[in-house]
Amino acid sequence: MTRRSPPAGQVWRASTHTAGRDPPYSQAMPNYRRARVPGGSFFFTVVTAGRQRVLTDEPVRLALREAIQGVRRDRPFQVDGWVLLPDHMHAIWTLPASDHDYATRWRLIKARVTRQLGDAYRHSAAMTPRPGATDPGSLWQHRYWEHWLRDDVDVQRHLDYLHFNPVKHGLVSNAIDWPWSSFHRFVAAGMYPRDWGMA
């Protein structure tokens, strides 16, 4: 069964056995073809250029929040899960029933963040020229990883992975201690216990 979104007013429950496991996908990207599933739910990994550890800086966080809100007004999508780490972020989105265009949404979000930050986060050492680009950016990797979530088990595995990620990377000992994560919303809704995701 294809999982498009949780039932109204509900979120997916945490499993007890998948914390810290890598999602079931290959890291290789040559010849990768993106899934185009209208109304689908997708897991994303977006990384900074050169693995710059800047995403949790307050100006970047605020610019990212404003960019997401602005794009969602123009091109709606549901945020099912999110975690922001210093050099990358993971997100789970569900798109509207007739829409599969997450690529434009990510392009707009990245562009808005870069534009709002201006020269403050433009580093020549991290410039990533792209064929045909007139103003190569220095904040984002041009590529990102996307995985179509096919069923409830797939969704739950990726929610667990996303929420455990700060612990996996040694940033905190408990998932609840990382401030930039949807984990807190899930705990408040009773879908994860507070002590889930301990190192």
Q: What is the pTM of this model?
A: 0.80
User: Would you list the DSSP string of 85-130?
Assistant: -SSEEEEEEE--TT---HHHHHHHHHHHHHHHHGGGG--GGG----
Q: pLDDT digit string (tens) for 9-41?
A: 444 444 443 444 444 433 444 444 566 788 999
How many C-beta atoms surround the C-beta of residue 167 within 10 A? 20
Q: Are 36 and 184 in contact (CB under 8 A)?
A: no
The pLDDT value given to residue 78: 97
Over the stretch 71-129, which tens digit does the pLDDT of each residue have? 999 999 999 999 999 999 999 999 999 999 999 999 999 999 999 999 888 765 545 55
DSSP E strand boundaries for the chain = 41-47, 78-84, 88-94, 145-148
The one-letter amino acid code at 156 reads Q
**Which residue type occupies 54?**
V
Query: How many whole angstroms separate alpha carbon 1 and alpha carbon 149?
Result: 10
Closest CA to 43 of 1, 94, 87: 94
Q: What is the mean pLDDT of the chain?
A: 83
> How is residue 41 written in tokens?
């739910």
Asked whether the beta carbons of 32 and 148 are under 8 A apart, the reply is no
Q: What is the distance between the alpha carbons of residues 45 and 84, in angstroms, rounded to a whole number?
A: 10
> In this predicted structure, what is the pLDDT of residue 129?
57
The pLDDT value recorded for residue 172 is: 98
Ordered by start, the domain boundaries in the chain are: 41-150
For residue range 42-77, list pLDDT tens digits in order.
999 999 999 999 999 999 999 999 999 999 999 999
Which tokens hold the place of 86?
Answer: 């210093």
CATH 3.30.70.1290 fits 41-150, yes or no: yes
Spatial neighbors of 99 by CB under 8 A, at least 6 apart, are 38, 39, 75, 77
In whole angstroms, give the CA distance from residue 156 to residue 15. Answer: 7
Amino acid 8: pLDDT? 40
What percentage of residues in the chain have a pLDDT greater than 70?
Answer: 75
| Average confidence (pLDDT) over 171-198 | 97
Q: 154: how many CB neighbours lie within 10 A of its CB? A: 18
Q: Stretch 176-190: mean pLDDT, rounded?
A: 98
Q: What type of residue is 7?
A: P
pLDDT at 15: 42
